[in-house]
Amino acid sequence: MKAAVYDTQGKKISQIELPVQFEEPYHPDLIKRAVLAIRANKRQPYGAAPRAGKRHSVRISKRRRDYKGSYGHGISRAPKKTMWRRGTQFGWEGAFAPGTKGGRKAHPPKAEKDFSVKININEKRKAIRSALSATLNRELVETRGHKLGEIYPIILESKAELLEKTKDVKKLLSSFKLEKELERNKKKKIRAGKGKLRGRKYTRKRGMLMVISSKCKLSSSAQNIPGVEVTEVRNLNTELLAPGTHAGRLTIYTDKAIEEIKSKALFTNKEKKFKKPKTRTTKEKPKTKEPEEKKAKENTGNPQARQSRAQRAESPLPQSEVPGRLKTPSRGRRFASKESKK
């Protein structure tokens, strides 16, 4: 399958052979499963404090005598905390029990709950390939709500990765008549629900995705355009290609990115692992060996120099007089001297 390559002015300059990854059939169920797995693995721990609702000075008891002050007053035997007292008259409030005001929740969410989901690596790769092929399907992209121009799919030359300014990136997108798409992404709505109070007041429609070969100037210059995302090829996943489990996102590739997919066989069973660049470390200088002649001279000058075991065995001197050995009496002599003194 071949596709046209365009320059930054929107003119066709050449053709490129698309790799096998773009020929995968469309599997919406598999894409949905992979996206939901990514979302589940991103979830943060969520739950109530272990002692929430249990910090009151009350005691739960099932014995009748512990509640003798409440008999005959039409008061339940639920655990209570004393708020005021006048002789034998008490003012209580229910606490601790789930059914009482200020009590704990019956079954609160637990922070230790594990939300992670496993998915087979072959299924995950197949889902990415399926989502990649869906990005080239014009019908799927339009049904997702994107506003396309006359040209689609869009594959740019590698010079596009060198664009430094945001206005140059906007000019590039307008050359493919994507102004309506940019206007669509500018609109934002106030979120319904409690998310407004949690730092995510506004919602905005997900716009186009630009796929580059490696970190470059385009990743920072396109950052300020609302709705536009830039990512490296090796960081692609199903959530980026199919946000909200709906495949067919408007995606712009560079020819270098497509070459990398082909050369490294990304998202296939023959994928070459990405190697992180090694950090610079100070090289240790190799230890220089001292010449043997110098060592020999030093040993000859020292009478107490240590000898090897073989040399000691061959030497005619007694073991006590061998150089490098302490001249201590043997154990037998010491005991003999003590017996003679006695």
So what's the pLDDT on residue 270?
A: 84
Residue 315 burial (CB count, 10 A): 13
Q: HSE-up of 156 (CA within 13 Å, CB side)?
A: 23
Mean pLDDT of 217-241: 94
Residue with tokens 């664009």: 163
- The architecture (CATH level 2) of 2-42+116-188+202-263 comes to 3-Layer(aba) Sandwich (3.40)
Residues 23 and 2: their CA atoms lie apart, in Å, by: 11
Report the DSSP beta bridge partners of residue 5. 14
pLDDT score for 106 = 93
Q: Where are the domains of the chain?
A: 2-42+116-188+202-263, 292-341
Which amino acid is it at 73? H
The amino acid present at 248, given as its one-letter code, is: G
How confident is the model over 301-336, as pLDDT tens digits?
555 455 555 566 666 555 555 555 555 555 555 555
Amino acid (one-letter) located at 294: K
Q: Are 13 and 6 in contact (CB under 8 A)?
A: yes
- Express each pLDDT in 94-126 by its tens digit: 888 898 887 889 999 999 999 999 999 999 999
27-68: per-residue pLDDT in tens?
999 999 999 999 999 999 999 999 998 888 887 666 776 666
Q: Does the pLDDT at position 298 exceed 60?
A: no
Read off the pLDDT of residues 18-29 as tens digits, 9 standing for 90 and up: 999 999 999 999
pTM of the model: 0.72
CA 147 to mean position of chain CA atoms: 33
Q: Are 271 and 264 in contact (CB under 8 A)?
A: yes
